[in-house]
Each structure stands twice: as structure tokens, then as C-alpha cells.
Amino acid sequence: MNKTWIILKREYLIRVKNKWFLIGTLFFPVLIVLMVILPSVFMMTGNVGKRTIAVVDETGTLFPLLKEHADGAYKDDQGRPLYNWIEISKNEFDKENLNQEVLDGKLDAFLIFPSTIFENNQFELYAKNIGNFQFNESINAMVTAAVTRVRILDTGLDPQKVHALTKSVRAKTFKVVKEGPKEESGELVFVLMYILTLTIYMVLIFYGMFVIRGVVEDKSSRVMELLLSSATPNQIMIGKILGIGAMGLTQIGIWAISAFFLTTYGTLMVKSFVSQAQLPALPSLSLGSALAFVIFFLLGYFFYSALYAALGSMGDSESDIQHLQWPVVTPIILSLFLMFALMKNPEGPMAVVLSLIPFFTPILMVMRVVMGAVPLFQVILAVVLLILSTLGMMWLSARIFRIGILMYGKRVTLPEVMKWIRYSS
């Protein structure tokens, strides 16, 4: 135990003291923030310019209604209308001329409302970029609103009243848990589920690679035999796994703490700058979900890193890592695919069965626990199964490990590995 601790300490310190640890730890959140912020920044700047749209209205009634509706419903932060409308009378209409103005950038688009628009439900939109779905949809919505208004007026009804009568209804979501229903946003549950499962996914892939690389490096530098003369293969393997795990926890801890400060103080700061900024409410984590996350996160790491260590012991150069990692990366990626497939029905028999298979448990169980109320016995069963298979995997890996670390210079085949497992030594 003491030797495991000494190896753990070295594995941890050598990595945490490395400058790349610092760079990676700092850079990763910056990357994430950029990925989240940049698109919304682009979207915002994209909307700032006022769009000028010409309209040729053959019906004679639609244009004023469209303008009224658009100016009222589509405004920027300062309350100014987003669209600038120009009506072109039928007599002045010159398609060539309008085309040229669009090409020159004087116009963003022009619309033609045929007199048959009320029967055929169709009008024409001319623009340079007709692939901008957001823009197309806004125009469709505005014209639809105007057309609907004309139709309502034609039937002699009061548009205000119709609007009030046809107001759409939305569900307020409640999550049913043992303690009784509790209000929770459906989207936020999804966001939370994604954050937690993707964290586990990343940990398994990313820190697993540290384990496989660590073992291969010690083999290629021939330090392994020296270690073996002082400690048992089990001590070396477990020391490595725990040391790298501790490094991972340190890194994730730093991110979690900074995320906490960023969300609490960051929100306040952003609010003080942009008065009307709409910030998403933050998902809150229930105690049960948090506990499930921590347990499956840790067990998942131990289960998979034992496998990574065994695979690492089969290689002795950097290039071996490429093909050695597949047997372990495949089930991890598969769990993610299964998660996407099963999250619509997290209580179905498929979800229940698959989430009990140790290879998939870490990701699928966390998904199920966050998404809905999983019966407690299923969670306990999954934990027990995962603990047993982790112990089994550790035992199996240790047997492969202690033979593998002395093997050099040949690619290992599966029958050979089976033989190693059976060896008494």
C-alpha cells in the first residue's frame, strides 16, 4: 500500500508540475468559452444591420399591414425596427432594376405579392443568399401574419379578439420524484444531462489515454523492470491509475470551481453591462443526480483505466498506442451513441438492460438518473455490477500487465493474451 502511494505521488506530481498541465488546464475552458460565445457574438453582430426590403404588392392591401406588423414585432435592442420597407408600385416595377439593386447591395431582398396570394398561399422572395433559413423564416412569419390579418378582416372579425383566442398554450414541466413533483425545465434537464455524460465521456477517453501512454512510456524507457524490482505489478498499475486519476480530478476540480465563480459572478457582471441581456437559467443538480454522477464517474474511470493499463502493457512504442486504444475506445464511443438513441425512452427495457452492462453503465446510468426517476434497486444493481466488474477487470488487467510489461518488440495477438491470463506467472 505504501509503495502504491509512492508511485501514485510521483505519477501525480510529475504531471501536475509539467507546464503542459498548466497550459491545458487554462486553455481548455478558454476554448469552451470561445465555442459557446463566438457563435452568439456572430449572431448578434449579424442582426445589427438594418435590412432593406422592397415589396411589390399586387393586392394593394397587404403592404401597410406587413409594415405595421414587422415594425411592431421585430426590433433591435434600442427598440428600432429591424427592417426598412420600400413599396414599389406595380407601374414602376422593373425586375431587372431590382435585381441590380440587390446585387449592388442597395437592397437586401425584394418580395412580390401576387394577387393570388390569398388563394395559393404563395409569394416570391428574391435575395442574394436564399440559404439563410433564419431570414427566410422571419419573412414567412411576417407575411403570414399580414395575410392572416387580411383574411380575418375580410370575415368581419376583430383581429385583436382572434389573436387573443388563438394564443398558443405551453406546458410547464414538472419532474416526478419520490418527494413529490417539482418544477424543472425540460430543456435544462437535457443540458444538465449532456454536461454530465459528456464529462464522463471525455474523462474516459482523455485521461484513459494518459494511462495507456504512461505505461507504454515506462516500458519504452525501460524503467518498468526497475520498478518491478521494487514493487509488485499490482502496486505499479494501481499507483499509476490512481496518480493519473488524481491529476484528472485536480484539473476537473479547477474547472468546476472556476465555472462556479464564472456563473455566479460572471452573470452579475454581464447583467451590469447589458441591461436587457437574456441569460439562460442555470441547471441545478439534485443531490441524487450528483451522487450518481460522482459514483459512476469514479467507478467508470477505474473500470476503463484498468483496461487501458492492460492494453498499454502490450505495446512498447508511441506508435503502438494508435492501434492498442481501439478495444477500449470503441465501447466508450458506443455508450455515447446508445445514450443518444435511448434518451427519448430512458425507462424502456432496452435502456434498463443496456445501462446494467458495465461497459455502458457510467454514461447510460447517469443519463437515466438525470432524465427520470430510475428505481433505486436498478441504480444499486448497476453500482454492484460495476464494482464487481471493476475488480474483475483490475484482476484480469493485472495478469496481462505483469507479463506484458516484460514483452518487447512484437505485436501481441489475442490468443497470446489469453495464454498470459492463464499463466501462473
Partner 1 sequence: MEIVVLRNVYKFFGEKHAVEDLSFSVPKGQIFGLLGPNGAGKTTTLRMIMRILLPDQGTIQVFGNTLAPSMVNRIGYMPEERGLYKKMKVFDCVAFFGELKGLSPERARKKAKEWLSRFELSEWAQKKIGELSKGMQQKVQFILTVLHEPELLILDEPFSGLDPVNVDEMKNMLLEMKNNGTTIIFSSHQMEQVEKLCDAICLIHRGKNVLSGTLSEVKSKFGKNRIRIYYDGKAQFLKDRSLVLESNDFGKYVEIQPAPGVTPNALLKRAVQEISIHRFEITEPSLHDIFVQLVKNQGEQIE
Q: Which is nearer to partner 1, 107 or 236 (CB)?
A: 236
User: What is the DSSP annotation of 39-108?
Assistant: HHHHHHHHHHSPEEEEEEESSSSHHHHHHHHHHHH-B-TTS-BSEEEEEE-TTT--HHHHHHHHHHTS-S
Q: Which is nearer to partner 1, 16 or 86 (CB)?
A: 16
CB of 254 to partner 1, least distance (A): 23
Largest CA distance in the chain: 97
CA 94/CA 169 separation, integer angstroms: 45
Task: State the minimum distance, in angstroms, from the CB of residue 2 to partner 1.
Answer: 8
Write b or e for each residue in 97-131: b if 16 or more Cβ atoms lie within 10 A of its Cβ, otherwise e: ebeebbeeeebbbbbbbeeebeeeeebeebbeeee
Q: Annotate 99-158 with DSSP letters as a single string.
A: HHHHHHTS-SEEEEE-TTHHHH---EEEES-TT-HHHHHHHHHHHHHHHHHHHHHHTT--
Helix axes 361-371, 376-404, angle to 10 degrees: 160
Which among 210, 424, 401, 225 has a CA at the least distance from the CA of 314? 401
Q: Quick one: which of 262, 79, 62 has its CA closest to 147?
A: 62
Site of interaction with partner 1 (CB under 8 A): 3, 6-7, 10, 14, 221-232, 406, 424-425
Do residues 335 and 364 make contact, with C-beta atoms less than 8 angstroms apart?
A: yes
- Closest contact distance (angstroms) between CB of 230 and partner 1 is 4
Per the listing, cell 449572431 goes with 43
Nine-digit cell at 420?
A: 498470459
By the 10 Å C-beta count (0-12 exposed, 13-18 middle, 19+ buried), 280 is classed as exposed
| Under 8 Å between Cβ of 409 and 320 | no
Spatial distance between the Cα atoms of 189 and 193, rounded to a whole number of angstroms: 6
Set of cell numbers at residue 283: 441547471
Strand 124-127 versus strand 109-113 pairing type: antiparallel
